[in-house]
Structures are given as C-alpha cells and as structure tokens.
Chains A and B, each alone.
Chain A
Amino acid sequence: MKKFWSLIVASMMILSMALTGCSQQPAEEASKDEFKSQIFFKGSSTLAPVVSQIATDFIDANETWNKVNADFPEKSIDLFVSAGGSSAGVKAVIDGTSDFGMVSRNVKDEEKEQIKDYKEFLLGYDVLTISVNPENPIVNIKKNLTTDEVKKIFSGEYKYWDEVAPGLPHNEIVVVTRDIGGGAHQVFQDKVMGDAQVKAESIQEPSMGALATKIMENKDAIGYASSGLVNQNEGRIIPLEVDGIAPVKENILSGAYKISRPLIVIKSGELLPQEQLFVDLMLSEEGMKTVEKMGFVPAK
C-alpha cells in the first residue's frame, strides 16, 4: 500500500511539472469595451529579436498606455514576443491564437486565403551577400560572379580558386555555410542552388557571426554572410556582386539583388488603436533604426 501511495504522489508531481509547460492562450474574446492592454507576437526566430527589442524600448519609455496616448486607460503595456518559426507565426494568425504573426519569408497565396482580411507590414530584408576575405585576389580580378558560378563554387564543381578565374591562386576553395536545415541556408538554396547540393566538405557554422569570422580569418574562404555583418566589418570582409548586381541598399529595396528574404509582420482584420500605434512605431524611423542595428536592411 505504501508503495502505491508513493507512486501516486510521484506521478502527480511529474504530471504537475509536465502541465506547467502548457501555457495559456491569449484571450481573444476580451469584451469589446474593455481595453486590450496585451499584444501577442508569434513567429520567425529571425524577426523575433527585432520586434522584441522595439517592444522593450517602447515599454521602458512608457510603462502604461495612458502615457502614450491620454485617451487610453492607465494599464500596463504588455507586449509578448515568442519565436517558433515563420510557419508557426502564420498558423497562429490563422487560428487566432496570436494578434500578430512574424514571418521571414514570402507568405504563400494559400496561406493568405486562410487569413480573413489579410494585412502585412514590411519591416525589412534579411540579405545574404556572397563574401570573401579581402586578401583574396578575386576582389581585384573578378568582382562579379554569375549565379551559375556561385552554384559551382558551393556545390564543389570548382574545387580550386584558379578554376573560377585565371590568375587566382591554386588554393582549395573553403566554402562556409550555416547549418543546412536553417532559415538562412534555405534562402540560399532557393535563390541560388536550386536542386544542387552544397558540397559535403563545406564548413557548417553554428551562427552568422561565426561564419563571418571564418571568412575574415581564412583567405580562401567564401560564404553567404548577412549584410548586417558585412556592414559592421567593412574592409575585413568583401561582398561580391552576383550577376552584376551589388548587394547595396538600392538594389535590395528594388528587388534587383535576389538573395534576400522579407521580414514581415502579418495580421488578420482591423487593428485596434493601440495595435496601430505599435505598428506605426515599428515602421517609424526609430523602428527602422532598430532593424538596421540588428543586422538587417530596413524597408525604408
């Protein structure tokens, strides 16, 4: 009998632990007249730090809603940002479990169809540059690579630098990538590689920072460093042109430079005044500065 009871107690404890993991869902059905002081964001882990940063600054500056706008009641500003991937963000908006979804890719048409009164706000772009070490003579000889050449370099068809262009040293090309399953690599796969595979000898780095560091350290390295890191390390890492188009702001905003993905916040239905206020903040100059500070190209 004793054994039985201790077993019961133990299983209860485990169950209670397991259940604490299940979080509550935001209450969508708050009555119409009551002021909704909480706003939920869910989705892309690329975009989450940006929104989170803007939200934190906003909360620190204001604390309660009435300080933002005198018409609002004195309620604390609660903005919740949770990362779970772009698809999870779209799903959360479809299911109504989150007020906003964060998506770091184009929203598919069949996804848009499922969202009633679809709205999207473009915050910026995550841009991948094809970058090399400044000591690599390719910077002087051949500043421009075609998509096909990039593909051949990354798939291992070109093994040595002198195969890319005569005059380059007979050194092995060191290809640096992010993890193959991650978001950054997916962009590269879609926009450049297509069906081809990146060669198995490539170095997989656990973060964009590590990838950029590798390019800065190794004179034979080539990799897709994000534009934010390239800007932060000007001169120590050199972005090449792809198909004659340099990864500069004008080309990115016009869509001419193609190895990029949009960072979007999506919403279903009309925005509440307080939601509109925060969206305006994100799209303001201040918000755009944060986008840039986090290593992305702002939309404006």
Chain B
Amino acid sequence: MKRDKAFELIIKAFTLVSVAILGFIIFFIGAESLPAFRYSGLAGFFTNERWNPIGADPVFSILPMVLATIYVSFLAVAIALPIGVGTAVFLSCIARESARRMLKPFIDLMAGLPSVVFGFMGLMVVVGYFEKHFSMSSGESVLAGGIVLAIMILPYIVSTCDTTMAEIMKSHKKTSDSLGVSKWHMIRYLVLPAAKRSIFAGAVLALARGMGETMAVMMVIGNSPLFPRLLGKCETIPALIALEMGGAPVGSLHYHALFAAGLILIIMRFAVSMAVWQIKKGSDF
C-alpha cells in the first residue's frame, strides 16, 4: 500500500512538473513581451507603419506578419486538403490491403522529413521555377511558401482522414455490400459525409502545424515585412523570430518585441487548437 502511495505521488509530481513548465513558459513569454506592448501600445503593435526594430526609435508593427502567417498556412491547407482527402479515400476504401500497407508508412515517413530539406527543395525547385517561367524578378512569394507548406502538411491530413475513413468503411462495408451499393456510391454518400468532421479536424490540425513551420517557409518567402500578396514576398511570425533573434541584444526593445510576436503566434495557435477540440468533441469516430 505504501508503495502505491509513493508511486501515486511520483506520478502526480511529474504531471505537476510538466504543467508547471508549460505555465512557466507562457508566463515567461508574457512577461518578456510586456515592455514591447507598453512601448507601442496594444493597438499600435498592430497598426504602426512598419517593422523597423533598430535605430534610435524602433517601430513595431506585427500585422503584416500575422496576415502573412494566416495567408500562407490557409493557402497551404487549401492546396493540400483536396489532395489529402483524395489520398485518404484511396487508401481506406479503394487500395487493397497489401497496397495500403505499403503506401501508409510511406506517407507517414513524409511527416518525418526534416523541414530544412523541404525548404531547400522549395528554394531550388519552386522558387527557381517561378523565376524562370513566371517572369517574376524573384520567385520568393506567398504562393511558393504555400506550395512547400502544403507538401509538408499533407501527411497530417491524410493520416487523420484515413484512420476515420477506414473505420467507417469497416463498420458499414458489409451492410452496403449486401444492399448492393456500389463502392463509389458508398464513398460519396456515406464515407465522405460521415468523415466530414474528421476531414475538418485534419485540416485545422494541419493549419496549426503550418502556422508554426519556420525553416522551410523562411527559405522561400523572402522575409520582407510587407502586406502579403499571392505573388509578393512576405514574412511569417516564425520566420521573423528565427531571423531576428540572433541579432537582438538580450533585454533590448527588439528582443521584447520578438517575444511579443511569439506570444501572438501562441495565441493564434491556441485558438486553432481550441477549434480542433471543439470539433473532436462532437465527433463519433
């Protein structure tokens, strides 16, 4: 009995530690970003004219980066979603078991590729292609970022959708077969509608993943603090932080502003996670 008690205590302590660390991180980031908000004002931090962190009186405006982060990740989801759902349907409903067993790990493997590899590919292939064939002066753009990110988040969408669809297939296959319903009819009128929530959750999960992606996106978007246009350069929040943290002296206003940018990114991702949670709550599968 005594051992059980000790075990219980240790487990609880570990849980508390992890919760405390999380709390500490959020508290730390919040506290570190306070001077930046105090300097620019909460509204000013979004509406100032431009992002210029150096010089005698630095100016901070995070709005272009917030919009760029949203634009790039939504674009990526828009590109990846149809492809991802199609792949998931194929894997769960059409492919034979042997093919499925081959393809699934392959797609999962894609999620494990280091992002810098995607970034390098994007820089050489996507950006290079744009420069050659689109007569753009420089290929770095929101679109390039969206395409690279779409490839990166594809496995997340496939994986979430496939699991659900396979389950739907398993529980309804016999019934629909005995009713003589064709496979395609079943996919269209049973599997896809039933997996609706799951598809949506997958998309939102991928969105959250995309918002935080740093390296690959940073390499192909040009990192100019401008308002994002499809074929124009932009700078996402993770790219901003990764790019500038090396040059920001500890304790300077620039340093605090980068923390503030991080805080805003956390809030954005938190909102997305809440959405996933809400969707999952109502899901049957």
Q: Is the CB of B50 within 8 A of A200?
A: yes
Q: Which of A207-227 contact B (CB under 8 A)?
A: 210, 213, 217-218, 220-221
Instruction: Map CB proximity to A onto B235-268 as digits: 1 under 8 Å, 0 otherwise.
Output: 1000000111011110000100000000000000
Q: Main SS of chain B's interface residues? A: helix
A11 → B minimal CB distance (Å) = 8
Looking at A20-28, A179-187, A229-237, the stretch in contact with chain B turns out to be A179-187
Contact of A30 with B by CB under 8 A: no
Contact of A197 with B by CB under 8 A: yes
Q: Is the CB of A179 within 8 A of B244?
A: yes
Contact of A136 with B by CB under 8 A: no
Q: Is the CB of B50 within 8 A of A204?
A: no
Q: Is the CB of B219 within 8 A of A210?
A: yes
Q: With A87-B249, A182-B246 known to touch, is A9 a contact of B218 (CB < 8 Å)?
A: no
Contact of B53 with A by CB under 8 A: yes
Residue count of chain B within 8 Å CB distance of chain A: 36
A/B pair count, beta carbons within 8 Å: 90
A42 → B minimal CB distance (Å) = 14
* A residues in contact with B140, CB < 8 Å: 203
Q: Is the CB of B131 within 8 A of A218?
A: yes
Instruction: Map CB proximity to A onto B14-37 as digits: 1 under 8 Å, 0 otherwise.
Output: 001100110010000000000000
Instruction: Map CB proximity to A onto B45-75 as digits: 1 under 8 Å, 0 otherwise.
Output: 0000010111000000000000000000000
Q: With A13-B13, A203-B233 known to touch, is A181 a contact of B20 (CB < 8 Å)?
A: no
* B residues in contact with A201, CB < 8 Å: 224, 226, 233
* A residues in contact with B223, CB < 8 Å: 179, 203-206
Q: Which of B115-132 contact A (CB under 8 A)?
A: 123, 127-128, 131
Q: Is the CB of B138 within 8 A of A221?
A: yes
Q: Is the CB of B12 within 8 A of A6?
A: yes
B12 → A minimal CB distance (Å) = 5
B245 → A minimal CB distance (Å) = 9
* B residues in contact with A45, CB < 8 Å: 246
Contact of A253 with B by CB under 8 A: no
Cβ 8 A contact of A6, one of B13, B53, B244: B13
Contact of A287 with B by CB under 8 A: no
Contact of B225 with A by CB under 8 A: yes
Q: Is the CB of A7 within 8 A of B242?
A: no
Contact of A61 with B by CB under 8 A: no
Q: Complex Cα distance A201/B9, Å?
A: 57
Q: Is the CB of A200 within 8 A of B224?
A: yes
B224 → A minimal CB distance (Å) = 5
* A residues in contact with B225, CB < 8 Å: 200
Q: Which of A140-175 contact B (CB under 8 A)?
A: 171-174
Contact of A202 with B by CB under 8 A: yes
Q: Chain A interface (Cβ within 8 Å of chain B)?
A: 2, 5-7, 9-11, 13-14, 45, 85, 87, 171-174, 179-183, 185-186, 189, 197, 200-206, 210, 213, 217-218, 220-221
Contact of B137 with A by CB under 8 A: yes
Q: Complex Cα distance A151/B92, Å?
A: 59
Q: Complex Cα distance A218/B140, Å?
A: 11
B252 to chain A: closest residue by CB: A181
B132 → A minimal CB distance (Å) = 10
B139 → A minimal CB distance (Å) = 8
B227 to chain A: closest residue by CB: A200
* B residues in contact with A2, CB < 8 Å: 9
Q: With A45-B246, A182-B247, A220-B138 known to touch, is A204 a contact of B235 (CB < 8 Å)?
A: yes
A170 → B minimal CB distance (Å) = 11
- 20 A–B contact pairs at CB < 8 A? A2-B9, A6-B16, A9-B13, A14-B17, A179-B244, A180-B52, A180-B244, A181-B254, A182-B247, A186-B54, A186-B247, A200-B50, A202-B224, A203-B138, A203-B222, A204-B222, A206-B218, A210-B219, A218-B137, A220-B137
Interface centre among A5, A171, A180 (most CB of B within 10 A): A180
Known: A185-B247, A186-B247, A201-B233. 6 other contacts (CB 8 A): A10-B13, A10-B16, A45-B246, A181-B247, A200-B226, A217-B127
B140 to chain A: closest residue by CB: A203
A9 to chain B: closest residue by CB: B13
* B residues in contact with A202, CB < 8 Å: 224
Q: Complex Cα distance A197/B54, Å?
A: 10
Q: Complex Cα distance A105/B252, Å?
A: 19
* B residues in contact with A182, CB < 8 Å: 244, 246-247
Q: Complex Cα distance A205/B218, Å?
A: 8
B215 to chain A: closest residue by CB: A206
Q: Is the CB of B247 within 8 A of A203?
A: no
* A residues in contact with B242, CB < 8 Å: 206
Q: Is the CB of A181 within 8 A of B138?
A: no
